Structure formats: C-alpha cells, structure tokens
C-alpha cells in the first residue's frame, strides 16, 4: 500500500510560523517529505513539469507547482508549458539595470536592494525560484552576455553577488547562481569543449560561485552548456561533486540550463540534478508529457542506486523547505511595479553611470541655458527592455533618453536625428538564440541622413548629444544570449560618422556610449565629454538625465578594462577564442591583469570613473595581520571639490616576494564613501590572509606564503594614490 503523503502535523506546526528556515530545520522537513515518496515521485522532483515548473510536491502542504523565472534584472513574463512563447496577457514587472550596470556601482548596498526588488516581485507573481544572478567572468569583450554578468574581476563579482542573493532569498525565493562553469562565450556554447588549468579555474572563474555557496547560501546552481575537459558541465563529477559538494558543502540543488541534460544514469552518478528544457523536450529524467520515467527505470535496472536518487531529490526538497514552499509556512509578501521599485531602478542606474571624460567641464549641463538640443543616434529612442534573450522583460513603461530629455526640457526644442551613415544588418542565423528562448527581432537597415543635413542641424543647436554603442538583439554587433558579437569595433560607417561629428567641434558636444561590454572606438580622443552607461532598464533615460544635469554626481567605475583594440586582448593575442576547442592559455591574466603583464595601455582602465568633484586618499595606517588576523587598512578620503560625491577606494595587492608567478596586482577590497564638499572620512577595508593566497596545484589548496606583500590604494587599477607593505610571518594553507 502506498504510504500517506502528507507531512505530519508535528512537522507542520513546527514550521508554520516561519518561511526561510535554518539549514537543520529545512533538512529535517526535507527528509520527512522524502521518506513518504515513491521512487517515481522522487524522479518527478528532478525534471520539469513544463518549461518553467516542477511538478506539485507529494507530501507538501501545497499542491501548487514550483515555478521558476528568469532573469537577473527583472522577472520575465510566464512562458507556456511546452515552449518559448509567452502566456498572454503577459505579466508586467520592474526592469532594473543589467548586472553589467550593477557591477559599475561597486556598491554592495545597491546589490542588496537589487536582489530585494527581484525577490519581492517574484513573490508577488508566485515565482519560487529566480534564475539569477549570472556571475561568469568577462574573458572576451565579444561575449554576447557580458551585459548580464558582473564584469571581469572575481573579487568584484563575488562581493556583489552575495548581497544580491541574500536580497532575493530574504523574500523566501530561491536564487540560482549561473552558469557553472567556464561559460565565458556564447559562440557554440552548446558544443564547445573548454580546458583550463586548475589554478586559473580556482583563482578567476570559481570565486564568485564559491562566495554564492559559502557566504550567501544560494539554494540553486545552474550548470552551463559547454563541455569541461570533454565532459558536459551538467554531468561533470569534478565540478559538481568534487568542488560544489565536497569542497564547498553546497546543500541546494543543481539545475541544468535548458536543454543541457545529455544522459540519464551517467549524469545522476556524477552529481546531476534537475533536468530542464522546453517543456515537451524534458525526457532524460522524467517526461512530463508521456509520464515515462527513465531515471526510475535506470534504478530498477541497477544502473543507479536508489540512494543517489534520494540524495538528488533531498536537495530539491531542501531548497523547497528553506523557502517555506514545502512546509506551507507563511512566506514573505511581495509587491511589484511600485513607485519604490521604480525609484530604485532609476537611482541604481544613475549610480552605475561612469564619467569617462569631462575635459572642458561641459558636464553637468545647465537646463536653463538649453534652448535647442539635437540628439544624434536613433538608439536614443529605441526601447531595449523586451530584448536580449532570457533576460528580456515586460514593463509597464520604459523611458528612453530622448523621451527623458524632452520631458526634462519642456521649454526647449529637442530634436532626434540619425547618424550620417548607412548601416545594413544582414540576416543572421538565430537558431541558437531561438533554442535558448530569445525572441528574435530582425533589423535590416538603420535610418540615416545626409552629412550636410546633420551638420546644419547640429550647428543650429546649442547642445549636441550623441548616443552610440550597442543594442540588444541577435544580429551582428548586438548583445544577446545565444550568440557573440561579430566584431569588437563599432561598424566602420558609424566610426566614420563619429569622427565627422566630433570634427565639427561643436562647443557643447556630449557623447554617451551605451553597452554591456567594451566596444572598439577610434574617436574617443576627440570627445571632450564622454559618459559610459550599460543597459539601465525601464528608467534608463531618467537615470542618464539625472547625471547629465547634475542631480546625481557620477560615481560609477568601470567593471571591465576597455581595450583600445581587440588585438590588445588576451584572447586575441593568445588565439584562444573559437567555436570548437578552447584552452585558456592566457591563464589568470584576464582583463587588467593581462594589460599589466603585457604592458599594453588600455583605452580606459579597470576601475576608472570620474565625477563632478575631486577626491584625495591617504593611508592612515594598517592594523592586524598577526596570528592569522586580517589586515585592516584605514584610508582617509577627502572631498576636495565643491560638490557632494562618492568615491570608490580600491585596494590591490602586489607580490614583491612572490615564490611563484603572480599578477602585477589584483583587486582585494573596495569601499564606497559618500562625502560632502570638504569632508573627510576614514574607510576601513579588510584583507584576510586567504585573500593574499594563490591556488597551490600540488597541495590542492590555497596557499599564502610567508613574506612581504604590497597593498596599493587608488581610484582605479591605473591610478594608485598610496601604497604600503605588510608582512605575513608564516606560510598558511586553506583547504578552500
């Protein structure tokens, strides 16, 4: 006779008062539920019941399906059960800035708020699991999903993803860190075989995932599509068991990226978890359409021990218990599309904008002095929120830059014109993007005007705003899931047009570059005022205007080194970017590490960002460091200008006594300081002995050697203001 499948009254009473349980309570509830399930019911926990759902949990206090949703900057509209089409009418949600923008804030508090908004909007929609954040390191500027990630540096990505995850999970929603691991390009992501040495893997590509597990307690991890040393990431024993479970003690569940499951028994025996795909293609574990149970059959044939299935199912139940889904506990209430969420979207966006140049002090703009404004570039009025693949959103409104300028300057004439360059977008094979759920928008030709017409309009305007960069989509140099950009450089016609416009030397020309990744520009030396923004979501135009007009003093910092040429990047010089078999032979020299090593000066360095005021930094002293204690740096930061502003104190480490090959410097800590004019504050930053470690491939552990280390304190990786040396007395090893 089948066992009863209801949780006992004792268990329900114990957990009814709270949702996000502690680990022991959640594990107890999960085991209670597991003990009452049949083998078939256990396998149903390990495969989708549709494109974005898991089957109702037998034994839970609710018979509702567990529901998932993308992404890292919004809650995507619901997809139909068996495919990629949206359920109509589509739900609306706040669209926050992209993670590439969040990374440019260099602010853990904004990361927490970002996560909290997404958690609240998930709860209001009845979504149990958010498929974010994405933390893959930017290895190549061509990667189509750089805009969805947190930059090139593992420390920056790790420190921002932790509060993001905690913010999401504070609303009793499971966060999902992705894509585990070595998914650093979209080109052939479903077939490419990736090879990396163990030291590079541990020092560059794993730290954000480790922080998500060990510091944030993330409840789910999504595997990547690629192979790792010939084995699919979704069934790779070394990464899924050796690293995730054995080393890091990950308690949650692994979920494949959609369509990333390749086997049944082999995947289960090598740390596999939940299989997801477009609903009617889920078939390796349990087929929700036919009812077939390949995993249960593999157990019955003796290919997979029932204990393995128990462990897999227990991990899913653990996450469900942690969020209160399994126990029926009262979960935190959510809300969406509120004025507060819209305010956060706008303020976070403004905080992320990077002022790259302001040579003649053209910014901030004086609205009262602006009577006739010309905006060049049709992208300034083309909405982006519903583009980009699985990270696309559906918003109640979207404010473009042109719309925001028009609203901001009701007394002025604000005109929009295209570039004096014709660019044709050839049709592109978008198969991969479609398989990944991207909604393809075909674009064949960009509007353009004659040079004479544009010149006349520009000279008649008192302010010229030029808007350039990339857009979201699946063609040529657009950024999107499922494909990489074709070229690093801005298309040649637009490069020529930018030179032409800047050569006019209009006295008030402001250039705004929007992209989620570095773009090849040849004209930046001619631009007096240059702002860098990423995709800022539904409040993009307002956020940019807040900076343009000085309501917000720009304080964003680049989260990516901006090369002058693609040929200057490590992947180009090392020849390690292709569609079949990749060896990361640049090793740990990623981003600014590569530029330091090779002596190549970038267009703009990692961490760079100006403001409408100036700052001074001085090291007051360093405490600690003995007996294994962290070093505490006390840095005095003074606002030496006339406006309130924020500065990011960046601390790098260098290794004068290194016994092995080390980078010239590496980011170890940062802090953002808010100062009134003339005000001085002391920022305290901590560096642990483990922070100074490298991965010892012989001992399979992190190792900090005895000796002297140099700490470099500055406003970017190339702008070091002060430095000092610290001493480590004894060599230390760290198991992880």
508-561 pLDDT, tens digit each: 999 999 999 999 999 999 999 999 999 999 999 999 999 999 999 999 999 999
Report in angstroms the alpha-carbon separations of 663 from 592, 594, 712, 713, 718. 10, 8, 13, 16, 14
DSSP 3-state assignment of 211? helix
Q: Which residues contact 477 (CB under 8 A, 6 or more apart)?
A: 470, 485, 486, 487, 490, 491, 519
pLDDT score, position 445 = 56
- The number of beta carbons lying within 10 Å of the beta carbon of residue 54 is 24
- For the chain, the 3-state helix, strand and coil shares in percent, each to the nearest 5, are 30, 20, 50
Bridge partners, 728 (sequence order): 707
Report in angstroms the alpha-carbon separations of 41 from 296, 303, 317. 9, 19, 12
pLDDT score, position 9 = 40
CA distance 549 to 613: 14
37-56 pLDDT, tens digit each: 999 999 999 999 999 999 99
Structure tokens at 603: 């267009």
CA distance 519 to 562: 8
pLDDT score, position 567 = 96
Are the C-beta atoms of 652 and 720 separated by less than 8 Å? yes
pTM, to two decimals: 0.95
Bridge partners, 354 (sequence order): 532
Are the C-beta atoms of 325 and 62 separated by less than 8 Å? yes
Bridge partners, 734 (sequence order): 702
Q: Does residue 215 register a pLDDT over 80? A: yes
Confidence of residue 659 (pLDDT cuts 50, 70, 90): very high
Are the C-beta atoms of 362 and 550 separated by less than 8 Å? no
**Angular region, 131: left φ>0, alpha ψ -120 to 50, beta rest:** beta
CA distance 323 to 11: 15
Are the C-beta atoms of 566 and 547 separated by less than 8 Å? no
- The number of beta carbons lying within 10 Å of the beta carbon of residue 192 is 20
Strand-pair category, 253-255 with 220-223: parallel
278-301 pLDDT, tens digit each: 999 999 999 999 999 999 999 999
Q: Inter-axis angle of helices 207-214 and 154-169, to 10 degrees?
A: 30
Range(s) within the chain of domains with CATH label 3.40.50.1700: 347-557
158-172 pLDDT, tens digit each: 999 999 999 999 999
pLDDT score, position 615 = 98
pLDDT score, position 443 = 56
Instruction: Quote the percentage of the chain above a pLDDT of 90.
Output: 89
**Does the domain at residues 615-734 carry the CATH identifier 3.90.1150.10?**
no
58-102 pLDDT, tens digit each: 766 557 999 999 999 999 999 999 999 999 999 999 999 999 999
Q: Which residues are catalytic?
A: 257
For residues 650-662, average pLDDT: 97
Range(s) within the chain of domains with CATH label 3.20.20.300: 9-322
390-440 pLDDT, tens digit each: 999 999 999 999 999 999 999 999 999 999 987 665 555 555 444 444 555
For residues 474-480, average pLDDT: 84
Q: Provide the CA 473 distance to its chain's centre, in angstroms.
A: 18
State the Cα torsion 3-4-10-12 to the nearest 10°.
120
Confidence of residue 14 (pLDDT cuts 50, 70, 90): very low
**Angular region, 229: left φ>0, alpha ψ -120 to 50, beta rest:** left
Q: Does residue 190 register a pLDDT over 80? A: yes
The b-or-e profile of 639-675 (16+ CB within 10 A means b, else e) is bebeeebbbbbbbbbbbeeeeeebbbbbbbbbbbbeb
Q: Does residue 318 register a pLDDT over 60? A: yes
Are the C-beta atoms of 233 and 243 separated by less than 8 Å? no
Sign of the C-alpha dihedral computed for residues 310, 316, 322 and 327 taken in this order: negative
Architecture of domain 347-557: 3-Layer(aba) Sandwich (3.40)
Confidence of residue 442 (pLDDT cuts 50, 70, 90): low
Range(s) within the chain of domains with CATH label 2.60.40.10: 615-734
Which CATH superfamily, name and number, covers 9-322?
Answer: Glycoside hydrolase, family 3, N-terminal domain (3.20.20.300)
Confidence of residue 6 (pLDDT cuts 50, 70, 90): very low
């Amino acid at each position: 006779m089948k066992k009863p499948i209801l949780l006992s009254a004792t268990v329900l009473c114990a957990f009814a008062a709270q949702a996000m349980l502690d680990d022991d309570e959640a594990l107890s509830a999960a085991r209670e539920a597991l003990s009452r399930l049949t083998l078939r019911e256990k396998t149903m926990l390990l495969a989708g019941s549709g494109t974005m759902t898991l089957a109702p949990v037998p034994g839970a206090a609710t018979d509702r399906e567990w529901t998932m949703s993308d992404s890292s900057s919004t809650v995507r509209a619901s997809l139909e059960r068996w495919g990629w089409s949206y359920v109509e009418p589509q739900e609306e949600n706040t669209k926050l800035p992209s993670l590439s923008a969040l990374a440019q804030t260099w602010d853990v508090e904004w990361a927490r708020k970002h996560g909290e908004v997404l958690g609240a909007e998930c709860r209001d929609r009845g979504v149990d699991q958010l498929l974010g954040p994405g933390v893959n390191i930017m290895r190549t500027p061509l990667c189509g999903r750089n805009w969805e990630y947190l930059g090139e540096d593992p420390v920056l990505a790790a420190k921002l993803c932790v509060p993001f995850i905690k913010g999401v999970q504070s609303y009793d929603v499971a966060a999902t860190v992705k894509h585990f691991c070595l998914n650093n390009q979209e080109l052939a992501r479903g077939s490419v075989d990736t090879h990396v040495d163990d030291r590079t893997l541990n020092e560059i590509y794993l730290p954000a995932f480790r922080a998500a597990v060990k510091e944030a307690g993330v409840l789910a991890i999504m595997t990547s599509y690629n192979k790792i040393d010939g084995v699919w990431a979704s069934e790779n024993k070394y990464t899924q068991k050796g690293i995730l479970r054995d080393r890091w003690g990950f308690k949650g569940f692994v979920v494949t990226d959609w369509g990333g499951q390749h086997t049944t028994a082999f995947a289960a025996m090598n740390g596999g978890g939940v299989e997801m795909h477009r609903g009617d293609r889920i078939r390796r574990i349990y087929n929700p359409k036919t009812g077939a149970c390949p995993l249960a059959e593999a157990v019955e044939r003796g290919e997979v021990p029932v204990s393995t299935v128990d462990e897999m199912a227990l991990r899913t139940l653990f996450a469900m218990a942690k969020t209160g889904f399994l126990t029926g506990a009262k979960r935190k209430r959510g809300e969406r599309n509120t004025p507060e969420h819209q305010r956060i979207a706008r303020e976070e966006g403004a905080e992320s904008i990077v002022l790259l140049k302001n040579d003649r002090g053209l910014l901030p703009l004086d609205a009262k002095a602006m009577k006739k404004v010309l905006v060049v570039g049709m992208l300034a009025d083309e909405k982006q929120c519903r583009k980009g693949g699985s990270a696309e959103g559906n918003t109640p409104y979207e404010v473009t830059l042109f719309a925001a300028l028009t609203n901001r300057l009701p007394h002025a004439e604000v005109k929009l014109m295209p570039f004096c360059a014709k660019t044709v977008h050839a049709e592109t094979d978008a198969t991969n993007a479609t398989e990944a759920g991207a909604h393809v928008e075909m674009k064949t030709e960009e509007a353009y005007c004659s040079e004479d017409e544009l010149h006349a309009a520009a000279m008649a305007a008192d302010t010229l705003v030029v808007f350039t960069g990339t857009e979201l989509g699946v063609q040529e140099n657009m950024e999107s899931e499922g494909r990489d950009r074709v070229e690093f450089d801005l298309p040649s016609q637009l490069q020529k047009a930018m030179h032409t416009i800047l050569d006019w030397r209009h006295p008030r020309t402001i250039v705004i570059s929007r992209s989620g990744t570095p773009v090849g520009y040849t004209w930046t030396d001619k631009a007096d005022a240059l702002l860098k923004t990423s995709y800022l979501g539904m409040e993009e135009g307002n956020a940019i205007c807040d900076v343009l007009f000085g309501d917000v003093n720009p304080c964003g910092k680049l989260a990516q080194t901006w090369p002058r040429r693609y040929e200057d990047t490590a992947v180009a010089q090392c020849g390690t970017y292709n569609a079949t078999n990749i060896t990361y032979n640049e090793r740990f020299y990623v981003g600014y590490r590569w530029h330091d090593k090779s002596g190549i000066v970038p267009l703009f360095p990692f961490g760079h960002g100006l403001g409408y005021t100036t700052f001074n930094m001085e090291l007051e002293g360093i405490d600690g460091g003995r007996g294994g204690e962290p070093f505490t740096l006390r840095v005095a930061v003074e606002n030496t200008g006339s406006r309130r502003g924020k500065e990011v104190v960046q601390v790098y480490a260098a290794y004068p006594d290194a016994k092995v090959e080390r980078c010239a410097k590496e980011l170890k800590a940062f802090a953002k300081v808010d100062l009134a004019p003339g005000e001085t504050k002391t920022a305290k930053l901590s560096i642990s002995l483990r922070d100074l470690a490298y991965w010892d491939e012989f001992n399979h552990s992190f190792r900090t050697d005895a000796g002297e280390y140099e700490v470099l304190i500055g406003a970017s990786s190339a702008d070091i203001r002060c430095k000092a040396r610290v001493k480590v007395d004894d060599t230390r090893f760290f198991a992880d």
